[in-house]
Structure 1
Amino acid sequence: MTEAGINYAAVFQALPGMVALLTPELVYADVNEEFVRLSGRSREQLVGRYLFEVFPDNPNDPAATGARNLEASLRRVLATGERDTMALQRYDVESQERPGEWEERYWSPVNAPIVGPDGRVELLVHRVEEVTELIKARGGPEGSRARVLEAELYTRARELQEVNERLREAHAREREVALALQKAMLPAPGLVGHHRAAVRYRPAVGSLNVCGDWYDLVDLPGDRIGVAVGDVVGHGLPAAGVMGLLRSALSAASRVADGPAQALEVLGLYARSVDGAENTTAVEVCVDWDTHALTYSSAGHPPPAVLRIDGTVKFLDQATDPPLGARPDHVARPQATAAFTEGDTLVLYTDGLIERRREDIDAGLARLADALTRHRTADPERLADTLLYELLPAGGATDDTALVIVRL
């Protein structure tokens, strides 16, 4: 049978294990026959209904955590786009024959994402294996061993959940500190020379994912400014600390260097002496209003975009070199120049704005160009908000995003 001839709906219904499809709102979109049989619920009682309305926690058990743990797992999958295998769960189910009575049940769930063309999670695959009979086996030596297994597994699962909860709390505290550090080190929006720039920083969702993205604006001699963005590899406080060092170093180098390429060369040499700075990407553009020229250089960073007043978009991609510290020996970095017209718009950003898992970067650049063209009449502040709203995933990005927009 060819792939085109496979009846996937029939395959789904015939799967030997319990499988359900959930929407991002955690509503049942579909369930297979085994899910109906083992859950003790009809399709009408499941499809179209909120998961935890159908299967709430046992109200008679104050220590019940099945629903809370399951929701946390599903939310993680939605936020990260990664599969999550849960520890063994005790999750009691109300008897259909005897309403008000709750049956002790044990489950081993796995939750996985189905990602759409835009990189967003469109559905969740919720696969469950019921192990109640194994855990509650009674009678004889085999039953005794099963009860010992039950106690050990359940105890270990509870211990693991408690450890994970403490880790999440610790990571949440680290995230708060890292965000405060980033906010303190990034320049406030406002005038650079007599030119105004719109700047935005959006942290990644999840306590583990705050990263080292930065932006910088430097007032240069004459009617010139330097605009830069960068992205440190890694997460949390270490990345935020490295970000602060590199941003400050590039800001200082830009004031004395003979152009962006030389500034990035100096930054690359400095990055070799900073733990965690290897493979940082950065791009800097010098805007000269006297000559109407954009001089730029990139260290492995996504190309800046220039939105022309006629609505066309040009990416500054003619002076790209490897990230900082990627080469064993010092090599001069390339530099290029592009002309601009008064009224054009310069856009610098980090990869969180355009990159999506399992998608070529060209697709993200095309989305950005399309959004810029459609909103070409917007002022920089409104354009910045619009780009974040349209291009970032609805549930929040898994990578930080820095964005700088300057009307030329």
Structure 2
Amino acid sequence: MSEPAIDYRAVFHALPGMVALLTPDLVYADANDDFVTNSGYPRGNLIGRYLFDVFPDNPNDPTASGARNLEASLRRVLADEERDTMALQRYDVELPEHPGEWEERYWSPINAPVLDAEGRVVLLVHRVEEVTELIRARGQAGGDRARVLEAELYTRSRELQEANQRLRQAHARERSVALALQDAMLPAPRPIGHHQSAVRYQPAVGALNVCGDWYDLAELPDGGLSVAVGDVVGHGLAAAGVMGQLRSALSAASRASDGPARALEVLGLYARSVEGAESTTAVSVNVDWTTRSLTYSNAGHPPPALLGQDGAVVFLDQATDPPLGARPEHVPRPQAEHAFTDGDTLVLYTDGLIERRNEDIDTGLTRLARSLTVHRALDPEQLADALLLDLLPAAGATDDAALVVLRL
């Protein structure tokens, strides 16, 4: 059964509570119905205008700081690419129908980034909880009680803001560790003679720039080249730790084994002793430059693609076996060979590049083949970028993706 079509614009405008969308330049891109109603400004007086031209600080009150605090929060979101929850703000708003007259308002804002596929902030979600009436009601019930309530709200908001700051700092530390791990475990490949290559590494949306996918290009003692990709179940630092162990083990096994099947057998035996390595998939291809042949073995992974100069695409799918650790007993893995011609392109990838929910894998493979054919004239670096652009969702992938492109 197909999923129902959703009118997200209608959903946005029906959202309960005040929500506006801002560009990175802090210009209103849209505002939902509650924001328009409660702000007192028609949508036409908001869209396309700079936020603080519409809502500046009260020039008659030297202590006014709502706009200044809001801008600081939005700048933090742009810089850190993280949600920011502000303390309760007193924010005097100029009455649209009475210029020069200001109304005391109390808002509790939350600001969050909207990222594109490359992780850049393209919009800011500015959500405001209006608590002015609550403050006023308490004030009518008694000035002392209103001041106590305002103080409590302010204190709790400050505590929340401080906790949010600590979370941002912790996340920044984790991200620093993640980047160091990425550089250590997935370095850029060294030049391979006159053969051009490109690698790409794309964690899922919300990941810490590390994932369980890996790639490896290892020069073999006989002068050939071993190319491999793998996929550990899960995301984040735990999966990356497992990935690092398996990548290193396969790289070593490939150099010491007589072919990719034997290397994957060794890796499978090793994986049984590594917690979290269950159901890992991997594919390994040995390139023999002298015989112009590819020898490969596949442990439950999507098949490598061989792109001919004429645009024809062949999937290397004749030596496919279950993932690592899937069998209770050790069984030799299959191995197959395929010839190549100088100028052909070998492409290895993980399932995050092609698979989509509620879609057969053959559909993803067809989409990959079509993209390879269209972009066959590009060099490996350009081809890798084109594949990511064509195949990954614009809003960001929900699964990790690794990609190796090698011009043979």
Normalising by structure 2, what TM-score?
0.74
For structure 1, the 5+ residue unaligned runs are none
Could you say if the C-alpha distance between residues 54 and 302 of structure 1 is closer, same or farther in structure 2, counting changes exceeding 3 Å?
A: farther
- Counterpart code for 1:200: V
- Counterpart code for 2:195: R
- Contact 1:137–1:143 (CA under 8 A) maintained in structure 2: no
TM-superposition CA deviations, 1:220-272 (whole Å, max 9, x none)? 35463210112334455444433332111001111233432332222122122
- Count of residue correspondences: 399
* C-alpha distance in 2 between matches for 1:102 and 1:313: 67
* C-alpha distance in 2 between matches for 1:220 and 1:9: 55
Answer yes or no: is 1:200 the counterpart of 2:199. yes
Answer yes or no: is 1:106 the counterpart of 2:107. yes
| Superposed counterparts of 1:373-392, under 5 Å | 373-388=373-388, 391=391
* C-alpha distance in 1 between matches for 2:394 and 2:7: 32
| Superposed counterparts of 1:105-184, under 5 Å | 105-107=106-108, 129-139=129-139, 150-184=150-184
Shift of residue 366, structure 1, vs aligned partner = 4.4
* C-alpha distance in 1 between matches for 2:329 and 2:286: 26
Answer yes or no: is 1:35 the counterpart of 2:39. no
Could you say if the C-alpha distance between residues 169 and 302 of structure 1 is closer, same or farther in structure 2, counting changes exceeding 3 Å?
A: farther
Could you say if the C-alpha distance between residues 367 and 9 of structure 1 is closer, same or farther in structure 2, counting changes exceeding 3 Å?
A: closer
Shift of residue 217, structure 1, vs aligned partner = 1.5
Aligned residue in 2 for 1:244? 244
Shift of residue 14, structure 1, vs aligned partner = 7.0
Once the two structures are overlaid, the 10-residue window that deviates more, 374-383 or 360-369, is 360-369
Q: Secondary structure at the match of 2:138?
A: coil
TM-superposition CA deviations, 1:79-123 (whole Å, max 9, x none)? 89xxx896885372532335485733224669798999xxx9998
- Contact 1:57–1:67 (CA under 8 A) maintained in structure 2: no
Answer yes or no: is 1:94 the counterpart of 2:93. yes
* C-alpha distance in 2 between matches for 1:18 and 1:316: 54
Once the two structures are overlaid, the 10-residue window that deviates more, 24-33 or 256-265, is 24-33
C-alpha RMSD of the superposition? 4.7
Q: Secondary structure at the match of 1:138?
A: helix
**Percent identity, aligned pairs only?**
65
Answer yes or no: is 1:213 the counterpart of 2:213. yes
Shift of residue 346, structure 1, vs aligned partner = 0.2
| Superposed counterparts of 1:253-292, under 5 Å | 253-292=253-292
Answer yes or no: is 1:301 the counterpart of 2:319. no
Q: Secondary structure at the match of 2:373?
A: helix
Aligned residue in 1 for 2:65? 61
Could you say if the C-alpha distance between residues 108 and 313 of structure 1 is closer, same or farther in structure 2, counting changes exceeding 3 Å?
A: same
* C-alpha distance in 2 between matches for 1:103 and 1:341: 75
Q: Secondary structure at the match of 1:303?
A: coil
Once the two structures are overlaid, the 10-residue window that deviates more, 241-250 or 50-59, is 50-59
TM-superposition CA deviations, 1:185-216 (whole Å, max 9, x none)? 43543344x46241334454767342243221
Normalising by structure 1, what TM-score?
0.74
Q: Secondary structure at the match of 1:270?
A: helix
* C-alpha distance in 2 between matches for 1:351 and 1:396: 15
Q: Secondary structure at the match of 1:196?
A: coil
Shift of residue 72, structure 1, vs aligned partner = 6.4
- Contact 1:268–1:324 (CA under 8 A) maintained in structure 2: yes
* C-alpha distance in 2 between matches for 1:28 and 1:368: 38
- Contact 1:302–1:351 (CA under 8 A) maintained in structure 2: yes
Aligned residue in 2 for 1:227? 227
* C-alpha distance in 2 between matches for 1:137 and 1:234: 50
TM-superposition CA deviations, 1:327-361 (whole Å, max 9, x none)? 55545444444333332100112345445678776
* C-alpha distance in 1 between matches for 2:15 and 2:167: 36
* C-alpha distance in 2 between matches for 1:56 and 1:325: 62
- Counterpart code for 2:89: R
* C-alpha distance in 2 between matches for 1:210 and 1:91: 41
Shift of residue 29, structure 1, vs aligned partner = 4.6
* C-alpha distance in 2 between matches for 1:188 and 1:12: 42
Could you say if the C-alpha distance between residues 68 and 341 of structure 1 is closer, same or farther in structure 2, counting changes exceeding 3 Å?
A: same
For structure 2, the 5+ residue unaligned runs are none
* C-alpha distance in 2 between matches for 1:347 and 1:158: 52
* C-alpha distance in 1 between matches for 2:49 and 2:321: 52
* C-alpha distance in 2 between matches for 1:8 and 1:245: 43
TM-superposition CA deviations, 1:161-204 (whole Å, max 9, x none)? 32232222222233223322332343543344x46241334454
